[in-house]
Amino acid sequence: MFHASLHSSSSAAQHPLVVYGWDDDWAAAFAPYAAQGLLPGRVVRVDRGQCDVMTPEGLVRADTAFVTPHDPMRVVCTGDWAAVDPDGIGDPRYVRAYLPRRTAFARSTSSKRSEGQILAANVDHAIIVVSLAVELDLGRIERFLALAWESGAQPLVVLSKADLVPDPVGLSYLVEDVETVAPGVQVLAVSSHTGDGLDTLQAVAAGGTAVLLGVSGAGKSTLANTLLGLDAMEVQATRDADGKGRHTTTTRNLLALPAGGVLIDTPGLRGVGLWDAEAGVGQVFSEIDDLAASCRFPDCAHEAEPGCAVTAAIADGTLPERRLDSYRKLLRENQRLAAKTDARMRHEMRKVYKQRGMEGRAAMDIKQGRFR
Ligand SMILES: Nc1nc2c(ncn2[C@@H]2O[C@H](COP(=O)(O)OP(=O)(O)OP(=O)(O)O)[C@@H](O)[C@H]2O)c(=O)[nH]1
Ligand SMILES: [Zn+2]
């Protein structure tokens, strides 16, 4: 790139995988595999025991048999950084290993046997898309926030279809409403139709790998197409061809954005639920946790205990009762799920991602001038 050639004569060309999120830390983690002659690559799609991996040689197809253990949390997934066989060594090529994940999105796979499944790995930004065309459901936003925090990614709430709320004062109230349930999270009104807010969203997305979360009709596909630089005509044409208008994400689930950054859009993420997100739940309701720290009893249940700071805040109107109800509901739901889930698997997930998530959030806090 222009900058690179100005500042450093040795790096005339940047690594071809930089647009897919490659950085010095990944390079360091990959060094032992590079020494074995393996190629680095980012998994852009997984299906039927094979995956597509973007490598410096371009897109290669590789078998995942060596990295497919019985534990579904350890199966290679979209967003992983993989070590694959170089060209000419065996046919098919194999994925030999994948690098430790920085973050991961998981969900429970079945209602009977609650098992975790990884949906996307190494996501930096969880973009929660909420339509302004319908009434805001703050409880639902809180669920998505919990899920996002639990993954280790930094959440961002996008209020989509902002063109439907032409009154700027009304719009600012809606943004404020969402901000009250999303401490530590940026809330951004965006319209794919007028382009409002897109610059800011693009700038955030350029800083890493993003996923779009949200219910059906929230505007995720439209936003994805906008970020990918596909205009409405192209999308319409595609919609006519496959009846879905989702051509961009049917072949690859991970795409480099023209304005920088990477977008992951896997089908599974579209219906994602809450999975063992207890730490994430606490993060969403951090103001309640803060209050609880001042309760007289450390194990206060905020019911009828004397000296309870939480019920006091509800009584004096500083904490909406809805927030506490919502908090309890999510915790209960979460405990039900957690009870059904194999403890070892949960432990595994905690160990690997929690630390990273906390480090990431601490770094974000420092960057944004928030200190706790
Ligand atoms: N007015 C307005 N409508 C929008 C905007 N963005 C999307 N829409 C409309 O909202 C509807 C749903 O948008 P999609 O992008 O398909 O929503 P989605 O979240 O991808 O939905 P699923 O694919 O079902 O998950 C479509 O009819 C879009 O045309 C916007 O910025 N303004
Ligand atoms: Zn209390």
**Architecture of the domain made up of 278-367:** Orthogonal Bundle (1.10)
CB atoms under 10 Å from CB of 114, counted, come to 19
Decide which of 24 and 268 is more confident.
24
> What does the pLDDT read at residue 358?
54
37 marked as part of a ligand binding site:
no
Q: Is 97 helix (H, G, I), strand (E, B) or coil?
A: strand
Ramachandran sector of residue 307 (left: φ over 0; alpha: ψ -120 to 50; beta: rest):
left
Cα-Cα-Cα-Cα torsion 195, 223, 228, 204, nearest 10 degrees, comes to 80
Domain at 2-99, CATH class: mainly beta
Domain with CATH 1.10.40.50 in the chain: 278-367
pTM over 0.90: no
- Write down the pLDDT at residue 314: 94
Distance, CA of 191 to CA of 165 (rounded, Å): 10
| Residue 355 vs residues 152, 183, 351: alpha-carbon distances, Å | 9, 20, 7
Q: Write down the mean pLDDT value for the chain.
A: 79
Report the percentage of the chain scoring pLDDT > 70: 72
Task: Give the model confidence (pLDDT) of 188-243 as tens digits.
Answer: 999 999 999 999 999 999 999 999 988 878 898 899 999 998 764 454 444 444 44
**Tens digit of pLDDT for each residue in 94-113?**
999 999 999 998 765 444 34
Q: Which two tokens stand for residue 50?
A: 């094979």
Whether the CB-CB separation of 158 and 188 falls below 8 Å is answered with yes
Does 162 belong to an annotated binding site? yes
| Binding pocket residue ranges, ligand 1, CB within 6 Å | 160-161, 163-164, 191-193, 214, 216-222, 270
Q: Is 51 labeled as ligand-binding?
A: no
Distance CA 171, CA 176 (A): 9
Mutation pick for ligand 1 pocket among 221, 236, 249 (CB with most ligand atoms within 8 Å): 221
The pLDDT tens digits for 148-183 are 888 889 999 999 999 999 899 999 999 999 998 888
* Paired tokens of 200: 């800011």
| Nearest of 151, 16, 9, 135 to residue 79 by alpha carbon | 151
Q: Output the pLDDT for position 115.
A: 54
Architecture of domain 126-270: 3-Layer(aba) Sandwich (3.40)
- Expressed in angstroms and rounded, the spacing between residue 225 Cα and the centre of ligand 1 is 11
Q: Would you state the structure tokens that stand for residue 30, as one six-digit string? A: 């990959």
Ion ligand 2 — residues with CB < 5 Å = 295, 300, 302, 308, 310
Largest CA distance in the chain: 73
Q: How far apart are CA 214 and CA 217, in angstroms?
A: 8
